[in-house]
Amino acid sequence: MNTTLWVIASVLALIFLAAGLMKVGQPREKLAASGMAWTADSSSGVVKAVGAVEVLGAVGLIVPAALGIAPALAAWAALGLAATMLGATVLHLRRKEATALPVALVLFAMAAVVAWGRFGPYAF
């Protein structure tokens, strides 16, 4: 199960790193034009903040545990990303963006599994 948690955490880290860097590095208008409709109704600061949270969460999933420096942070990062995806789910529900819901819910489930495992029976 530990290997499974590492695989899930690695996949999550790659996804959130890519998504976060995209939000931090691209203008809000370009993100909105590429299909992230919610960014058109949010300030640039909010979009950049969400991107920064995603990047920090991605780093937190892997780096502390891999280096053995405060490895418990991996569980907290997973919990934070799960909370982020709950927020994304609420946002997409309110905006009636049904096509975005499955992705948000799958990412929530993956982050919740990692948080459960790292806080629980497979803690570092």
Residue 34 buriedness (CB in 10 A; 0-12 / 13-18 / 19+): exposed
pTM (2 d.p.) = 0.92
Average pLDDT by stretches of 10, the chain with 124 residues: 96 98 96 92 95 98 96 97 97 93 97 97 89
Domain ranges within the chain, ordered by starting residue = 2-119
